[in-house]
Chains A and B, each alone.
Chain A
Amino acid sequence: MARGTNTSSRRKGMSYTKFGYIFVAPFVIAYCLFSLYPLLTTFWYSGTVMQNANASFWGFSHREVYYDRYLNLTDYYDDLQGSTGINPADYAKIKNFFSAQEVADRYSPIDPEGLQALVDNTDISEATRGKIQQTIDTGDISYIASDASVMEELNTWSANYVDLGLTVINQLNKVNAAATTAATLAESDSEGSEEDSLTAEDILTSSQYEDFLATLQAGEFDEGQTLLVNYLANYAGVDSLYDYFAAEDVTPDAETFYYICANLNAPNAVYTSADGETAINAITVPFMSNLETYLNANVWSTSVPSISSYSNFQSYIDGDTELHSGEEQLYSDLCTLDAMGLIVKQVKLVQEGDTLVQSSNATDNILAAMRQYIDSNYSSDPVKTRSSLQIVCLNNYLDGSMNAGRKKLIDAGIDVDSYICFDGQFDINKYLEFKAFIGLDSVLTLDKYEELDQARKDKNAEKAQAKLDEAQAALPAAQAAYDAAVASGDEEAINEAYEALTAVNVAITDNQSKVNRPSGLLEKADATRDYLFVGFDNFGDIFGNKFRFNKVLGAFYTTFVMWIIGFIPQVLLALLLSAWFTDTKLKLKGLNLMKALMYLPNVITAATIAIFFRRLFSYSTGEATSAVQMLLDAVGHERINFFVNPWYTRLIVCFINFWMWYGNTMITLIAGITSISESLYESAQLDGANSFQTYTKITMPLLRPILLFVMVTSMIGGLQMYDIPFNINQYPSLVAFNGTYVRCTQTVLMYVNELAFGKSSIKQIGIASAISILLFIVTTILSIIIFYMMRDKDAAAAAKAKKLARKAGGTK
């Protein structure tokens, strides 16, 4: 950069400097938000453990109210009076109060808007509306509750009022249960593992399926069943239903398949027998439940674009969604459900002539019924519908069977309504009044809770200590069993013993942490789990617990070994090839093509390559086997089960790394060599140096910075290795490491992933973050070491001298 342009641009660019900030801002903001902040929080998480947080964590005032509400002492003390000195009958009042409060929160019985609709509803008598108005004005439900005639009148009106929206809701209740089940299954599938889920093959190859086919083939059906079978064959577009099920390409993905099975299993059909109209007997489909599970888990979750339909239903039913706006939407939701086959059975089949047809009677078909009803009654009165809903809410609150807590308190002579908060804002003072009224305010204090909490903690710590001692006593035996299994070489036994050993070690870790931080009573009040800061406990766990330490160190060791074994041949081959490719004496042809081919593996998805190599090396004993096993057969070597042998697996990973990356290194080195001044080589040639000498004396030293670059980038990439080992061996076999057994190709990131996002229900974000931080530190240290090892000492000295000179000279 020339000094002149620099100063001139500075002078002229003065007024433009603010644009520098503007241009750089998006990058800085995005970097801070998406890289720096997560890195810092990873540091923070490395000092946390997931624990139940209690009210003290949230900093509530009147924390005892929180515990009154969310903690049920009777769950922990069988004899409340004896253990805590609290009268159980009084305590039950507290629980009843909160149960009544919850009903009030859920149904908003005196929601001003809903009550206003009742007041505006001219169908209702003036007197009743006056009482409702008083309730609105005072917020006191007793104007309605104390006069039985009010609710009586409202209920009579409501029973006679037919509302489109409410009818829809009632119809929906019928399909809702099935829909919710499907949604739950679909959701649990998308989060959970796929390995245990049913596949289409599982169903089609089950013996139940064979039995079913035999039943169909035998064809011994009564008259009605025969009609049904013929109808369904016609529906499927085949001559006989047996042909349909026995066909090669049948898959239970098809909705047709489900429709047929569902109808066979529980036909919703009638035909005219000698005795008049008769229902048709089911032809039991034995794999029906499997089919449903499979479809729920695999097909409906993807074929239905959004499961939000279910939440629509739910909100209709809960009354959250404004009625009168969504009937069309509701109808389309029902159509979606219908397409999923969930309400298929609601369509009745009836005999017409010699065949069954879908009933043309609209009430036999829930969809048609809905459509008809909506079409003829599309407009309805919003005030009346709102009234109708509000009456439901009032009933839910006032009805003793719906609101048992309120009933019990009223039976005990307590005017609970005056303490309840109806506006959804819990008023602590009102509750405290209630508590004083029942006489518990001086008994169930925060001090009392804390006393109970401490007692609980002591007890739990004692228990955990006992379990810890037990687990520590069991450790040697488990270790010995494992060693014996390893000695026997039986893969299954090794895995079993490994699991047992892991269980013992996990018990030690868990109970140790329970002894250190025993759980008390108060955190049970809230299921909210949160990250509690514990300082360096996670690092203490890594370095203090032999089991954990070995797992972590083993992961680092595995990662490093798999990197270095691939890296050494990678660099050597790249050096050789780059020397050849730049050798002017050789004048190789087709260089660009060769370079392009050798670089190719580097641009291909690593996951694909790993899956491919898994296939290539997979092991089987029979005639049908993989390519590498066939090659082994050809050379007369016995077959090798590569993926149960840790070192073979690792070497395959190393080979893939080598194979994917030597082209990259080679191109980098070629670029480095060609940038070395030609005159150096010419003078070397004049001095009579041969190729080897020029290479070692000129090329190599000048390549040093490039080699440094290659090594540092490769090492950083290598320590983050994930795609290949993960995909080549999703369940790696075990290998002894320092007395503990680790998964043979489990890299650091795989271990982090397993801890933080794995299948275990306990997500150990804290320890995973701590390991991430270690990875960060190790990478940084190794980079610095390599940098210093490979730095050009002369250049460094020159730079230092220059710096000193500049300082001495005082130039800026």
Chain B
Amino acid sequence: MSTNQEKLRSKSASIKAYSILVYVVVIFFAILAIIPFWYMFMNATWDTFSIQTGIKLLPNFGHIFEQLKANWTYLSNRSTFSFALGFKNSLIITVSSTVLTVYFSALTAYGLSVYDFKGRKTIFTLIVGVMMVPTAVNITGFYRLMNAMGLLGTRWPLILPAIAAPSVVFFVKQYIDTSLSKEIIEAARIDGAGEFYTFNRVSLPILVPALATQAIFSFLGSWNNFFAPSILLTKQDLKTLPLMVSLLYGDRYTDYGAIYIGLSASVFPIIIAYAFLQRYIIQGVAAGGVKE
């Protein structure tokens, strides 16, 4: 009896020691994940000299707002970096492409799921097949096409292709297959609703949870996109935020405070959005990995 208890106690003690080790490791990585952003924000409140002579993990108490303002002014005076312009451009492209992706993916998935037309299995198989095709390999062809269509130097090349997002169609279709009962559609039809009305007013609201998740990912993907905009947006006044940030590269620009406030400004909106949406994002990632 006593030996058993001892065994149990020693076992729980070893679990305790083990869990402390686990906590240490987990907390280490959690800190590692956020410390760069913390460091970025803190440095934005310091002047160049202080940044270059000490590792600033605390804000510049007493001068936070003055220094932020000074850094921001310095940054804004550099004609290549305009936060407001970059933000506006990113927002226009991202919002438009997200709306297109979500609506048309829902439409497609609904069409594939609800209507039993000839060739729908083939289309779905093709969609699953092309999900894995690397999107960047057709860049030369895409560039020439946009050139031929006269769309270079506009935002359209980054917005219009959002209509066709195979992976979003795939996920939304899975959701429709499990969550949208055919009876509701039948009922709407009996009530005399047209097919588009049924989709827009009856089915779409039911799909909102799945669409919201896909919208978040589509939004992030478009917001963070760098490769395609760097090739397709050559005009200064169309450049998105990541392209603006990319201009902060270069050792020639020696005002570190200004660089850090530029980086912080590009990170800050995402972190705020993430703070509110992280639950859905993480659920979405989890759902993306588990098939069936």
Contact = CB atoms under 8 A, between A and B. Distances in A.
Interface of A: 1, 5-6, 9-10, 12-13, 16-24, 26-28, 30-31, 33-35, 37-45, 190-191, 194-195, 199-200, 251, 253, 298-299, 301-302, 573, 577, 580, 585-586, 588, 592-601, 603-609, 611-616, 618, 623-627, 630-631, 659, 662-664, 667-672, 675, 705-706, 709-710, 712-713, 716, 719-720, 722-723, 726-727, 730, 749, 752-753, 756-757, 765, 768-769, 772-773, 775-776, 779, 783
Contacts of B242: 605-608, 723
Given A299-B79, A586-B19, A599 B278 contact: yes
A42 B140 contact: yes
Contacts of B286: 667-668, 670-671
A712 B289 CA distance: 12
A675 B33 contact: no
Interface in B195-238: 195, 199, 220, 223-224, 226-227, 230-231, 234-237
A480 B24 CA distance: 54
B163 A586 contact: no
B132 A716 contact: yes
Given A200-B77, A588-B23, A605-B270, A720 B136 contact: yes
Contact of A588 (B19, B32, B123, B231): B19
For the complex of A and B, the 8 pairs showing the least CB-CB separation, nearest first, are A23-B111, A20-B115, A668-B289, A38-B141, A20-B117, A624-B52, A671-B286, A30-B163
Q: Is the interface of A mostly helix, strand, loop or mixed?
A: helix
B224 A605 contact: yes
B121 to A, nearest CB: 12
Interface string B244-288: 011111110000100110010011001100100011011001111
Interface string B88-130: 0000000000000000110110111011111010010000001
A390 B241 CA distance: 51
B36 A26 contact: no
A756 B82 CA distance: 28
B260 to A, nearest CB: 8
A28 B163 CA distance: 9
Contact of B140 (A45, A668, A730): A45
A598 B30 contact: yes
Contacts of B37: 600, 604
Contacts of B189: 16
B13 interface: no
A36 to B, nearest CB: 8
Residue of B145, B166, B199 with most chain A CB atoms under a 10 A cut-off: B145
15 contacts: A19-B111, A20-B112, A23-B199, A24-B107, A35-B138, A195-B250, A302-B237, A586-B19, A588-B19, A604-B37, A604-B267, A606-B242, A607-B242, A607-B246, A668-B286
Contacts of A712: 132
B65 interface: no
Contacts of B137: 39, 42, 720, 772-773, 775-776, 779
Interface residues of B, number: 110
Contact of B33 (A41, A611, A663, A769): A663
Given A45-B144, A605-B267, 4 more contacts: A27-B163, A659-B32, A727-B246, A727-B249
A514 B77 CA distance: 49
Contacts of A45: 140-141, 144
Contacts of B19: 586, 588
Contacts of B114: 9, 13, 16, 20
B26 A594 contact: yes
B34 A27 contact: no
Nearest to B284: A667
A355 B284 CA distance: 72
Contacts of A18: 117
Contacts of B230: 726, 753
A775 to B, nearest CB: 5
A301 B236 contact: yes
A79 to B, nearest CB: 43
Contacts of A757: 143, 231
Nearest to A767: B140
A618 B115 contact: no
A191 B231 CA distance: 11
Contacts of B48: 624
Contact of A598 (B29, B39, B142): B29
Nearest to A705: B291
A780 B215 CA distance: 28
Contact of A16 (B115, B136, B231): B115
A756 B285 contact: no
Contact of B163 (A26, A253, A600, A612): A26
B154 interface: no
